[in-house]
Each structure stands twice: as structure tokens, then as C-alpha cells.
Amino acid sequence: MADKFPFELVSPERLLLSVDAEMVTVPGSEGDFGVLAGHAPLISSLRPGVIEIDGVDEADRRIYVGGGFAEIVGGRLTVLAEEAVPVSQLDRAALEQRIRNTEEDLEDAKDDAARAKIQAQLDHLRGMLTAVN
């Protein structure tokens, strides 16, 4: 059995998860990275993607995050997520419908600023849909 370390997932509203994990895979802005007990101190921004937690009994071991930051210090991993949703709670049909609606909104956008905002939302939804696969 691998050594465990404290892992906390925090959203702007509250602490979402606090567990001892054997390994956590984090979607860093420069690529995914794995964290084990004894990891060197690190701060990284996150890209939208899935955090995978190994060595815990909870059912939701895969969590979609919509960006944020990860900090490893003092043997503890803390993820400050802009958005966090357990992958098991993502509904494929609902996401596909939201993507279709957003694509229509993108076609109807009146200016570059509106298009950029809608495109960012569309990219986010597509990332969530990828997490469901």
C-alpha cells in the first residue's frame, strides 16, 4: 500500500473534498501531473480537465474542474478550482443539448467580444463532454 497524503479540493464557495489519497492526477496548464506522498513543493495553474484520485473509498474519484490552481506544500495538495463537478453527475444528453444551443448562439453573435465569450463557453462545455467519455 502506498503512502497517503492530504488532498483538499476547494471551490470559491466552500471546501468540496478533504481526503487522504495515494495519488492524485491533476490537469496542469502545462500538462497532467501526478502527485504522490513526498512530492516537491509546486504551484501550477490548471486547465479544464479531470482530477483523478486514487486510494480513496469515495465513489466520486473523478472530478471535472474548470480551471484554477494547485499548490503542493508541506506534503499537502490543495486544488483551488473555479468550478468542480463529479464526472458521475455530468449528463451526456444535457451537455450535448447545451452545446447545440451554444453553437446556435455563436452563429447569432453580433460582435467579436460576444463571439469570444460564447466560444469560451462552448470550449468549456466540450471539455465537460470529453470528461464524460
Q: What is the pLDDT of residues 58-115, one digit of tens each?
A: 666 899 998 899 999 999 999 999 989 998 889 999 999 999 999 999 998 899 999 9
State the CATH number of the domain containing residue 18: 2.60.15.10
Residue 2 has pLDDT above 80, yes or no: no
Q: Is the domain of 64 the same as that of 106?
A: no
Cα gap 32→50, rounded to integer Å = 9
Q: Is the domain of 38 the same as that of 51?
A: yes
Lowest mean pLDDT across 2-6, 54-58, 83-87: 54-58
Cα gap 78→99, rounded to integer Å = 31
Q: Is the domain of 110 the same as that of 70?
A: no
Q: Whole domain around residue 98: which residue ranges?
A: 91-132
- Computed over every residue of the chain, the mean pLDDT equals 91
Residue 32 has pLDDT above 70, yes or no: yes
Enter the pTM of the model: 0.82
The answer to whether the beta carbons of residues 78 and 8 sit under 8 Å apart is yes
